[in-house]
Amino acid sequence: MSHFTNAQAVIAGGVNSPVRAFAGVGGEPVFFKSAKGAYLESEDGRRFIDYVGSWGPMILGHGHPAVIDAVTETAKQGLSFGAPCVLETRIAEKICALVPSIEKVRMVSSGTEATMSALRLARGHTGRDKILKFEGCYHGHSDSLLIKAGSGALTLGVPSSPGVPAGLAEHTITLPYNDLDALDTVFQKAGDQMACVIVEPIAGNMNMVPPVPGFHEKLRELCTASGTILIFDEVMTGFRVAKGGAQSIFGITPDLTTLGKIIGGGMPAAAFGGRADIMASLAPDGPVYQAGTLSGNPVAMAAGLATLEQLDAPGFYESLTAKTLQLIDGLAEAATNAGIGMATECEGGMFGLVFTDAESVRSFEQVAAADVDRFRKFFHGMLDAGVYLAPSAYEAGFVSAAHGDSEINATIEAARDVFQTL
């Protein structure tokens, strides 16, 4: 029997996170046993150039010596205390230094926990219940955020998963990403009822979709005028697209920011933080309750801190950006030469590929209309060629500092061959 068959007998769906099941591309998922640098090795001994990077955290590549050393030495002192440790303060200081909008921060264990807690904090701080989110943006699987769009700008959404109480939809408004007119309409009618707006500053969960000019500026203006808390969900983009996150690229100061992935260096860690007056509403200082047994776990803090410290190397982001551009330009040229319509995006170490004849993609509607069948064929062709991409047409990809010319050129060459078969 296959590894997947064995897993299905004892794990719900055979996986511990749905996209890993390959349902979006067909076939059985690859089971991995080791990773180093830019490569993954499967249980059956195959070697893949990796552009998933554990879904973003591995910005240095897999098994970076500084991170492994930090984890090893910290683990020798104990795996968990359930009490304060100095490493928590050190990584908090580092985060606050790198992201000026974060005056105070709280560590948690996952991106879902970070966004869920940020929403509760926003509601508790403002005394309001309604939240605004955007179609195609994913902020974890907490109930309030699993609400799909209604039929119009002011139509409240409906639960997008069984198990989510319909009553929560009364408090969640979902708008199209990048729709400035819809923003104006909603804030005119309900701005004074909204606790917060939560948004991916660069969407990475409907493939990679950047904001249109003026989108974030409009959000900031409307939130400020209405007393609504603006939350940038930088679980994916934080330290991935730039040293100060996407907010440093756009010059926008959110009220709260959620972080994850890279700040754990591959270990389970995430955070939310922002204005000191808002964070003061959290227990034990304030009435908004949030807690976690493994929050601030010393091993995870060590891995995250070691990773963030490596980002200070001179030219780190310039090099990472150049690698990503080299990859994307090569893939785009190969697709064009094969007569394949494919829109591409990239920023820092993050990229997106959408099979469409459109020159650029700026909405969930455009992504949903893309050629998913062609992506499936492309995915499996690249997998057979030893290149591991996200097994879904709706996910971004990631380049690490460990990717070099040989890996990128091999990827482009593989794509040239695969494009000829599509």
Active-site positions read: 138, 233, 261
CB 24 within 8 A of CB 391: yes
One-letter identity of residue 5: T
Q: How many helices (H) and strands (E) does the chain have?
A: 13, 16
Element (H, E) at 114: helix 111-126
Q: 13-20, long-range: CB within 8 Å, 24+ apart, which pairs?
A: 19/390, 19/391, 19/392, 19/395, 20/391
CB burial of 238-248 (b: ≥16 within 10 Å; e: otherwise) equals: bbbbbebbbbb
Distance CA 13, CA 18 (A): 8
CA contacts within 13 A on the Cβ side of 134: 32
DSSP for 360-382? ---SHHHHHTS-HHHHHHHHHHH
CB 193 within 8 A of CB 232: no
DSSP for 50-84? ESSGGGTT-TT-BT-HHHHHHHHHHHTT-S--SS-
Q: 88-92, long-range: CB within 8 Å, 24+ apart, which pairs?
A: 88/296, 88/298, 88/301, 90/301, 90/305, 91/263, 91/301, 91/304, 91/305, 91/308
Dmax (CA) for the chain in angstroms is: 61
Q: What phi, psi does 233 have (nearest 5°)?
A: -85, 100
Coil, strand or helix: which one is 13?
A: helix
